[in-house]
A = this chain, B = another copy of it.
């Protein structure tokens, strides 16, 4: 059981991790080894105090050094759900489950908007996780929406189970090679079905499928449905607490402005708030 599980390795997540380390708390930071695709793609950072025109890649390199010199190991993976535990929360990440007394959500902003029906059919044919649910579709037909190149290995995994994969790749130069993968045009507008998924609508035409995989970073409220969200942003107080006791949020997922300095500040504050919360609990 960790004191805290940080979900996301962008500027907010790294800031929270460095501060929890300084506060001598045990924690896990779950993310991507490149930390953040968004930061990596920044050309020149000018309005972040302390970085005078550095590139995003340089910023990532410095943060990676800070993590490594702080003895902080990043856990690679994509979190697919948060569940209540007796003394905190369970965090599902691929086939692993981690337990934390508190959570800091630093998941960034969803770049792919949810499709009509996505939330309704979640668990009834819609899945965010190839490693968790792929085996359920042995010999079946599935639709896969893949948001970035980094998720292509999950498409290959799904293709190893399914009889047929209809792939919507939302990026250029798709390099999936499995013979049973058909690369589709357009983007599904709706997921349809009865009790379970029966297919997706694309340009007015129905493509039949037994399951739909959305391979993209999950929105915060799809990770924990009782989380209060307003206009796509997690609602937080000045101490970065959410409406759920023990869950904090920081960075782009809490809303605009989408800026590194804001993310760094909120990650820092969230870590201090986690520490204060745990100090309180330990007193009782």
Expressed in whole angstroms, the minimum distance between the Cβ of A235 and any Cβ of chain B is 9
Interface pair B261/A267, CB less than 8 Å apart: yes
Contact digits for A229-242, partner B, Cβ 8 Å, 1 yes 0 no: 00000001110000
Given A268-B261, A272-B256, verify A49-B63 contact (CB < 8 Å). Answer: yes
> Which among B15, B52, B269 is the interface contact of A47 at CB below 8 angstroms?
B15
Evaluate contact between B51 and A65: CB separation under 8 angstroms: no
User: Residues of A within 8 Å of B, CB-based: how many?
Assistant: 40
**Distance A180 CA – B280 CA, assembled complex (angstroms):** 55
Q: Which of A18-26, A151-159, A188-196 contacts B (4 or more CB under 8 A)?
A: A18-26
With an 8 A cutoff between CB atoms, is A62 at the interface? Answer: yes
Residues of B within 8 A of A257 (CB): 268-269, 272
Which chain A residues in 25-67 approach chain B with CB under 8 Å? 46-54, 59, 62-63, 65-66
Contact B14 A49, beta carbon cutoff 8 Å: yes
A265 at the A/B interface (Cβ < 8 Å)? Answer: yes
In the assembly, what is the distance between CA of A143 and CA of B159, in Å? Answer: 83
Q: In the assembled complex, how far is the CB of residue A148 from the closest CB belonging to chain B, in whole angstroms?
A: 23
Shortest distance in angstroms between A150's beta carbon and chain B's nearest beta carbon?
Answer: 22
Q: Give Cα A143 to B39, complex, Å.
A: 54
Q: Which of B46, B66, B237 contacts A49 (CB 8 A)?
A: B66
Contact with B along A189-225 (1 / 0, CB 8 A): 0000000000000000000000000000000000000
Closest residue on chain B to residue A257 by CB atoms: B272
**Inter-chain contact B256/A262, CB cutoff 8 Å:** no
Contact for A52 among B65, B259, B260, CB less than 8 A = B65
Which of A14, A237, A257 has the largest count of B CB atoms less than 10 A from its CB? A257
Interface string of A132-164 (1 = CB under 8 A from B): 000000000000000000000000000000000
Question: Could you jot down 30 A-B contacts, CB within 8 Å?
Answer: A14-B49, A15-B48, A15-B49, A19-B47, A21-B47, A22-B46, A22-B47, A46-B70, A47-B268, A48-B50, A49-B59, A49-B63, A49-B260, A49-B264, A49-B267, A50-B264, A52-B66, A52-B69, A53-B69, A259-B268, A259-B272, A261-B264, A261-B265, A261-B267, A261-B268, A262-B265, A262-B268, A262-B269, A263-B265, A264-B265
Q: Beyond A15-B47, A261-B268: 5 further Cβ-contacts under 8 Å?
A: A18-B47, A22-B47, A49-B264, A50-B59, A261-B265
